[in-house]
Amino acid sequence: MSPNQHHTVDNLSIDEQVALIQRGTSEIISDAELRRKLETAQEEKRPLRVKLGLDPTAPDIHLGIAVVLRKLRLFQDLGHEVTIIIGDFTATIGDPSGKSKTRPQLTAEEVQANAKTYQDQYCQILDPDKTRIVFNSQWLNQMNFSDVIKLSAQTTVARILERDDFANRFAANTPIGIHEILYPICQGYDSVVLKSDIEMGGTDQKFNNLMGRDLQRADGQDPQVVLLMPLLVGLDGTDKMSKSLGNYVGIYEPANEMFAKLMSIPDELMETYFELTTDVPMDEVAQLQRDLVDGSVHPKTIKQRLAREVVTIYHGETVATSAQAEFDRIHRHRQLPSEIPSVSISNEDLTDGKIWVGHLLTQAGFAKSTSEARRLVQQGGVRFDGEKVVDPATLIQLQDDLILQVGKRRFAQIKIG
């Protein structure tokens, strides 16, 4: 749900609310409990408390993370309260979910720096006036060892080992730290403290979210509904979207870059992207999918619609239209972008006016190392003033205003001095 679209409980029936909430979800535990909580909230005229816990381990929000945040925005538009728990305490433990080995622990300084960046970005999607942000150190740091023992007594080792990742590590005789076993208990206790009605999460958080239900029951609370969203597959069509894998679209990326990246996704991902990253009605998405399958509409046309919808959410309709025109200019008409960033190369880096292509790519910021630069050349992704560079040992004769291109989307205008 984009920030400029709103639904209120005044004009939507419970059935309509449930249908909106169910869109794109992987699992709801349970649908019946969700319906009951929505009905109770309507009868009692009180908002539901909807919780999302995030450990600030990566400071840039991309479309994969936005899948959950957009669902939270829907709950806000339906009149409910959203609480973001920034896990500054739990991030110093390191969530073991889906990991085959112990995760490194973050320092308090790293956590605070990441949390500040996250906080700045949430409100690109969420309504800042309806978003409560808390840090779980506020209550977890107050617990003494006796409190931890009492809380731990609410679950069992057998229950903890139901987690696939723990069970697999145990069977493989791979170390499991006691602090990792405490992680889901800490996250579950967040739900007890906040008396949450609904907890959101990705499918990899199912065990942690269910632990919240267990601990709420033990505390005499009505257990929260767990609403799990799928992990969005990245641009490569293989792995989940991740900044570290480079297969992501950041919500703060320039519109032209965002549009071009979305045009690169595999055709088979389009239906999922429409469902999880846009507001296009599902009956319309189904028709677009039929058009794709029967060949009545070219895949590129459908993908342009997808890219335009996503860019509109984060940059506005006018900018999205311009981004499509710019994409067509570069890719359909084989023209250069209308704006190309400049990169300065010092005369000290030149020998007889020449520079090794590996150094040029690293100096321009297109490669992190000369070995990466070599790979880019070997893969045929480097052009200099329109000519493909085929030999990683090439010495480039430089002069001002020549254009360096890496891949289809990255350009730089060379300046010497």
Whole-number percent of the chain with pLDDT over 70: 88
Can you give the chain as a three-state secondary structure string?
CCCCCCCCCCCCCHHHHHHHHHCCCCEEECHHHHHHHHHHHHHHCCCCEEEEEECCCCCCCEHHHHHHHHHHHHHHHCCCEEEEEECCCHHHCCCCCCCCCCCCCCCHHHHHHHHHHHHHHHCCCCCHHHEEEEECHHHHCCCCHHHHHHHHCCCCHHHHCCCHHHHHHHHCCCCCCHHHHHHHHHHHHHHHHHCCCEEEEEHHHHHHHHHHHHHHHHCCCCCCEEEEECCCECCCCCCECCCCCCCCCECCCCHHHHHHHHCCCCHHHHHHHHHHHCCCCHHHHHHHHHHHHHCCCCHHHHHHHHHHHHHHHHHCHHHHHHHHHHHHHHHCCCCCCCCCCEEEECHHHCECCEEEHHHHHHHCCCCCCHHHHHHHHHCCCEEECCEECCCCCCEEECCCCCEEEECCCEEEEEEEC
How is domain 342-416 classified at the architecture level of CATH?
Roll (3.10)
Assess whether pLDDT exceeds 70 at residue 14.
yes
Question: Mean pLDDT across the chain, nearest whole number?
Answer: 83
Segments making up each domain of the chain, as ranges? 14-229, 255-331, 342-416
pLDDT at position 93 is 63
What band does 8 get if pLDDT is binned at 50, 70 and 90? very low
Assess whether pLDDT exceeds 90 at residue 337.
no
What average pLDDT does range 398-405 have in this prediction?
74
pLDDT at position 2 is 45
What band does 415 get if pLDDT is binned at 50, 70 and 90? confident
pLDDT digits (tens, 9 = 90+) for 74-115: 999 999 999 988 887 776 665 545 444 444 566 777 777 777
pLDDT digits (tens, 9 = 90+) for 221-241: 999 999 999 999 998 888 888
How is domain 14-229 classified at the architecture level of CATH?
3-Layer(aba) Sandwich (3.40)
pLDDT digits (tens, 9 = 90+) for 51-81: 998 876 655 789 998 999 999 999 999 999 9
Return the higher-pLDDT residue of 255 and 2.
255
How is domain 255-331 classified at the architecture level of CATH?
Orthogonal Bundle (1.10)
pLDDT at position 344 is 83
pLDDT at position 342 is 80
pLDDT at position 178 is 76
